[in-house]
Amino acid sequence: MLVCAVLSTAAGTAQTAINSVTYAITDSADQTIGGIRYRNTQASLDSITTSSTTYIFDGASANAVFVRRNTDSNGNGTPNQTADNDNTSAGYYQRAPSSGPAGGTTNVYGTYYNDYQNYLLNYNMFQGTYDTFVNGTTAPTNGVVSNIERIDYTWTGGYTVVGNEALSFFNIDPLNERDDIRISVFTAVDAQFTPTAYANSGLVITAGNYGANLSLPADGTTDSYVGTRYVNAGNNMSGTPSVSIDTNQGIAGTLISLADLGISAGTVIYGFSLMGTDVNAASASNLVNWNNTSIFPTNTGHDNGTHDFIMPGIFVRPVPEPSTYGAMFMGLIGLIWGGLRLRRPTNAT
């Protein structure tokens, strides 16, 4: 009984602003690719603190990701033609404060990946995506048109949710320009790991759900990011990208409760989907077919599709208070003592 009470203490946590984070930083050898010098630095999440609780990354992160693009703007069944919508992949890297080597190379923290799926799975606080769900045929200045309708993060073997977990989510943007995004958990998949059932029609994470800007992993203050755009390359991020430098950026985070996602402890889930806020889903079943243009519009604009996210959807668990450890220890002692008494032999008469 004692253990059950301890495990359920944080199950009711709603969307809560993240106040601070800690990182574990590792370095690998630098690479210069496509005119950019990558430090190949990994900032992995160690802990998260809200106004009342500290959480640690003790849960699970997805092991596969599927990018669902609709580039068939003509609706003729043949995507990626000249007249069809763009399929650009774009990423953000925190810029290193020193200048690059000879040749005008740009210095960035983070790790180089030559494909968008691995980029999305890197779980590195040094890098994220930008303008992720914008649709159309023409990109704005320094902007991106990806025509991504949905991104599915998947546990290919399924994952059983624990009652004291919450889902962490981070946004890269200036303080006054944070973007909304929709998220929904799926509870069934087919043989190709395509979602076939969702818990609900989706939760919209709004700008008001995030906390203040967090200390950035490199030096706490560097707010310049390098945008790398691989235009009309699909998920291929090799070659020389188009580059922009964006300043006054910040990272902010929120924790999402299990209840808000429509799931309870013990539920087996297979992942979660991210999408623009103009997705017109009246029910959970509406989210299954991302090619349904009445549900997933193909003209998603700046207001609904420019979310720049980083390290999405990591399950974290609260660190028990010292008093909780003490209660658990005393409960364990009580169980042992009770067991010893039950096994104590009786005297023969």
Q: What is the pLDDT of residues 158-211, one digit of tens each?
A: 999 988 889 999 998 876 778 889 999 999 999 999 999 999 999 999 888 898
- Tell me the average pLDDT across 92-105: 69
Per-residue pLDDT tens over the stretch 10-53:
333 468 999 999 989 999 999 999 989 999 999 998 999 999 89
- Indicate whether 349 belongs to any domain: no
* pLDDT cut 70: percent of the chain above it: 79
State which H helix or E strand residue 169 sits in: strand 166-173
Residue 347: pLDDT band (50, 70, 90) is very low
Longest dimension (CA), the chain: 98
Predicted structure pTM score? 0.84
Per-residue pLDDT tens over the stretch 196-243:
999 999 999 988 889 888 888 876 556 788 999 998 888 999 989 999
- Indicate whether 348 belongs to any domain: no
Q: Between the CA atoms of 317, 318, 323 and 328, what dihedral angle is there, to the nearest 10 degrees?
A: -10
- Indicate whether 347 belongs to any domain: no
- Indicate whether 324 belongs to any domain: yes
Question: For residue 82, what pLDDT is reported?
Answer: 52
Tell me how far apart the alpha carbons of residues 277 and 309 are, in angstroms, rounded to a whole number: 14
Question: For residue 75, what pLDDT is reported?
Answer: 58
- Indicate whether 262 belongs to any domain: yes
- Tell me the average pLDDT across 61-72: 88
- Average pLDDT across the chain, whole number: 81
Q: How many domains does the chain have?
A: 1
Place of tokens 């623009």: 276
The parent domain of residue 128 ranges over 2-342
Contacts by 45-48, CB closer than 8 A, 24 or more apart: 45/21, 45/123, 45/125, 45/168, 45/311, 45/314, 45/316, 46/21, 46/22, 47/21, 47/22, 47/319, 48/18, 48/20, 48/21, 48/168, 48/253, 48/255, 48/316
Q: Comparing 3 with 67, which gets the higher pLDDT?
A: 67
